[in-house]
Chains A and B, each alone.
Chain A
């Protein structure tokens, strides 16, 4: 017998007191748990800060201050010929309506008995969008010329920002676009019940607006553009990606060529997205001659970008189907294709759907390649219904965010955050759908 030295130092060790090694081990474990917890806390607090800042800045974008005015539609201005011919009325350009708005504001001041000393250009509290709004209405209802009509106009962004607490009397004094008297006028109108702040559906449904009237800018075109592109990506990337994965996973022989293809698909997933943008610009626009800023080009570029994601996740889903199922199918005399389409594919379905939705969500948030193919354009007209609409100019949600952050007026900063909230809501809906689908169709064997 060899005398083995006791590693614990004492020959009579009790399990009631931890020895040195055990203590050290326990301490290490405790430290590791603490590090993990700290890492999670840092991650969570970053997420909370991000969400809080976006929500704080973006929520006000969903409300807007509006003023209700009685506009005299005087026939002298709108229909100089006096024959109520819609064509003649259409000859009066938007600028011609500016006088009517001024008159409407002055009438309101008189009606509510508002007296403000030194009030200059009271109509400046109404958005420049107002003239266009009245003109559009008159063109649709030419018979109303000569009477008066009640309209609800946006106030200018400065007045709107005053109610959101971002413009103060002090800042207004230095601001060339707003005066203290005009703010006082807005407050007087509010007291009289003609001015109020409410939810602004136009932020979601209206098209973009120019630098002079941020209060009118909306996400409508961007949402339609993004939806069109997602439709194109879904229709192209899903069948191509799934077909490619099934072939590679189930049918392709394992040789050097398929190895090279596999490596390159993984590499493709890591290519910076802007490279896909340059590719799209070179091939789809310069070579194939497709229109710029069109959802079709954006959709094609995003398809190329999403394909590797879908292929990789589909292959993983196919791989996770146990080989015993394939054996079982082949064993009863199913052909390779029958075993794939009757048994393997249905079992891999939820995984494929999840991968596809995550790929789509990635594509929805992609900005860089779209900048290169001209989707950063200023588009104020809705694209048509598909398929023609795929070729009409449009923007996309993330590009609209990028676009608005570059505009000078501070009101656009608020709208950019609001647009991010809309984008996040869409992404959240897609991810939740993916999780629900996975839960719903998950099978165990």
Chain B
């Protein structure tokens, strides 16, 4: 199952970037996440897999407090990034989100030019002192997202005019432009065709050198291809978390085995 395109890198030595313990999430009366403990390592791609409605996206959105925008959501437990509690009352979610970037399921570029899409984050965070610096950040981000060569001649064209895969890579460029430390991806390839998917997957593997990447995916093949660590969620529980190879070849839990072999989900 393992795609050999990507060179296997040892991740056991990497530091812990995000540690979550005893996380509970309630949507009104619905207990969506039940007592999840997980440690996500730096410079590693961690995949969250599981059947629909198992809470993997919900948990992902806890990591940059995007659930704050939902009135009925209530979060308990402890989530730390570099040892700092992100739900501490002193934490401004705006600062947190600059540090923890996010890419969404559906490509959602702003209806503005490609340049403005990428430049928006650095502008509001004051990362560039002048136009030249901003230009540099935009170019660097677009290069990192592997889309520079396709759009360098039309930076002023509308971002919404790109193809689906290009739009998603533009969104990744936008996310990395604020210089985050963690990149959260919520099913980034579910709206893309196979070619665009493989482009984005390659990109994810490259991003690992700079960021800790957490990716939610429906596709087990994708998890196997891009991730080093995999977490399997089922009905709001974190069933199993371990090295991707181990999860896919030698799952410890029966439910994980059933899901991977296609009997549930």
Contact = CB atoms under 8 A, between A and B. Distances in A.
A342 B106 CA distance: 21
Which of B101, B106, B120, B175 has the most chain A CB atoms closer than 10 A to its own CB? B120
B160 A333 contact: no
Nearest to A444: B160
Nearest to B107: A324
B154 interface: no
Contacts of B124: 332-334, 338, 342
Interface stretch (B37-45, B92-100, B145-153): B92-100
A331 interface: yes
A342 B110 CA distance: 10
B121 A254 contact: no
Contact of A347 (B66, B98, B111, B171): B111
Contact of A324 (B66, B95, B104, B177): B104
A229 B212 CA distance: 60
Given A253-B71, A254-B71, A444-B160, A330 B121 contact: no
B90 interface: no
B108 A328 contact: yes
A330 B65 CA distance: 10
Interface in A328-373: 328-335, 338, 342-343, 347
Contacts of A322: 108
A95 interface: no
A259 to B, nearest CB: 13
Interface string A210-254: 000000000000000000000000000000000000000000011
Interface string A304-342: 000000000000000000101111111111110010001
A445 interface: yes
B108 A332 contact: no
A331 B160 contact: no
Given A327-B104, A443-B111, A444-B160, A335 B71 contact: no
Interface residues of A, number: 22
Contacts of B178: 332-333
Contact of A330 (B97, B110, B160): B97
B69 interface: yes
11 contacts: A253-B71, A324-B106, A325-B110, A327-B69, A330-B69, A330-B97, A331-B66, A331-B175, A332-B124, A338-B124, A444-B111
Contacts of A325: 108, 110-111
Interface string B102-115: 11101011110000
A444 B161 CA distance: 10
A322 B107 CA distance: 12
Which of A253, A327, A333, A343 has the most chain B CB atoms closer than 10 A to its own CB? A333
B56 interface: no
A246 to B, nearest CB: 16
A445 B124 CA distance: 23
A430 to B, nearest CB: 27
B97 A331 contact: yes
Given A324-B106, A335-B94, A330 B66 contact: yes
B174 A332 contact: yes
B125 interface: yes
A327 B60 CA distance: 14
A333 B94 contact: yes
A333 B121 contact: yes
A334 B111 CA distance: 16
- Tell me the interface secondary structure of chain A in the complex: helix
Interface string A405-445: 00000000000000000000000000000000000000111
Contacts of A338: 124
B125 A327 contact: no
Contacts of B98: 332-333
A332 B97 contact: yes
A311 to B, nearest CB: 21
B94 A328 contact: no
A369 to B, nearest CB: 38
A186 B174 CA distance: 82
B209 to A, nearest CB: 22
A177 B160 CA distance: 73
Question: Top 5 closest A-B pairs, CB basis?
Answer: A333-B98, A324-B108, A332-B121, A331-B102, A333-B97
Interface in B42-72: 64, 66, 69, 71
Interface in A57-74: none
A327 B95 contact: no
B228 to A, nearest CB: 24
Contacts of B175: 331-332
Which of A324, A325, A328, A338 has the most chain B CB atoms closer than 10 A to its own CB? A328
Nearest to A332: B121
B106 to A, nearest CB: 6
Given A327-B104, A333-B121, A333-B178, 16 more contacts: A254-B71, A325-B111, A327-B102, A328-B104, A328-B109, A328-B171, A329-B120, A330-B66, A333-B97, A333-B98, A334-B94, A338-B124, A342-B120, A342-B124, A343-B110, A444-B160
A271 B84 CA distance: 55
A327 B94 contact: no
B115 to A, nearest CB: 15
A327 B111 contact: no
Nearest to A253: B71
A379 to B, nearest CB: 49
B104 A333 contact: no
B206 to A, nearest CB: 20
A440 to B, nearest CB: 15
B74 to A, nearest CB: 14
Contacts of B171: 328
A445 B106 contact: no
A325 B108 CA distance: 6
Contacts of A330: 66, 69, 97
A332 B120 contact: yes
Contact of B110 (A253, A254, A328): A328
Interface string A252-283: 01100000000000000000000000000000
A161 B207 CA distance: 86
A386 to B, nearest CB: 38
